[in-house]
Amino acid sequence: MKKTRIYVAGHRGMVGSALVRQLEQRSEVELVVRSRQELNLSCQQDVEQFFQTENIDQVYLAAAKVGGIHANSTYPADFIYENLMIECNIIHSAWKAGVKRLLFLGSSCIYPKFAKQPIPESELLQGELECTNEPYAIAKIAGIKLCESYNRQYGTQYRSVMPTNLYGFNDNFHPENSHVIPALMRRFHEAMLANAPQVVVWGSGKPLREFLHVDDMAAASIHVMEMDDAAYQQLVPQTLSHINVGTGTDCTIAQLAELMAEVVGYQGKIVFDASKPDGTPRKLLDVSRLKSLGWEPQISLPDGLKSTYEWFLSHQNDFRQS
């Protein structure tokens, strides 16, 4: 039996590596991966040559330049340029090579800053974006529209999933350029080791956030990718083709900090620096469409944080530096 050749773009990232962990367990799958040194996804010629020679059946487009508020505010040109180039090159080259099925992984930051809550897929392009990550969000919106446009014009099955805030194994724990969970985990861990009297958390602690373990994200992505075409199209109209992926529940940053202190074992004081930006007040996804497609998350936030901290402790020497 011919194996399905699946290319996971961004296989060393948090989501890409989770996809690889799950897909490599399947005997009918032949995984194809390339490091940055082996394939420059920002180079159209290199990406096109890769697709013309590798006979790829499916693509998981998890490659992206990602970061938290600080990174997005400091490097806006890098975020919009690199993400646009990656998705344009991969989607167009996949189509030219005859790849019928592709899954684009976006981000919940595509939605307006003051979107109604929980956020349904229909909120896309209904208001202004959060200014701190607007360049990244615009690149991700472009990826959704690329998939929709190729489906409309060429009859492809290019689907898009929009995850909420992700965390888990192989996250980026850089002290400045990381997202909230890895940043807090590292900060509380170092404070615990130093027996520091307090930990300072950016912002007021009031914003509400939803968090999804990356293993759940990978499982949801595979579920959406493998859905039968007819069943999928009946539930997901071509004109609104992206799907929210989340838990449907959220917590305040203050609650997250308290839970993180408990998981790490830090017993000092938690102080909030309200002079730092909060970002979007609330960002909870409406995941009713995903549930109608037959999938729900399996990993609770406390359990996910515990397993992530265990991973953190055993991989401290391998952390990314940017």
Residues of the binding site for substrate:
187, 202, 209, 278
Q: Report the 3 state secondary structure along 115-173.
A: CCCCECHHHCCCCCCCHHHHHHHHHHHHHHHHHHHHHHHHCCEEEEEEECEEECCCCCC
For the record, the structure tokens of 105 come out as: 């992984």
Secondary structure class of 282 (helix, strand, coil): strand
* Binding site per annotation, positions for NADP(+): 10-16, 105-108, 140, 163-166, 179
Task: Decide if 136 is catalytic.
Answer: yes
d(CA 154, CA 95): 8
Preceding peptide of 120 cis, ω within 30°: no
Q: What is the rounded distance in angstroms from the CA atom of residue 103 to the CA atom of residue 116?
A: 26
To which residue do tokens 């838990």 refer? 247
Catalytic residue among 136, 158, 167, 266: 136
Q: What angle do CA 107, 299, 204 make, to 5 degrees?
A: 55
End-to-end CA distance of the chain: 43
Backbone angles phi, psi at 126, to 5 degrees: -100, 10
DSSP string, 243-267: EEES-S--EEHHHHHHHHHHHHT--
CA 17 → CA 9, 14, 120, 217, 299, distances in Å?
A: 10, 6, 28, 11, 18
**Order of strands, sheet of 157-163, starting from the edge strand that comes earlier in the sequence:** 29-32, 4-9, 58-61, 101-105, 157-163, 242-245
Distances (CA, A) of 138 to 46, 81, 108, 132, 210: 25, 10, 12, 12, 21
Q: Which residue has the tokens 């929210």?
A: 244
Residue from 126, 106, 103, 105 nearest 114 by CA: 126
Which uninterrupted H or E stretch holds 214? Answer: helix 214-226
> Which residues carry out catalysis?
136
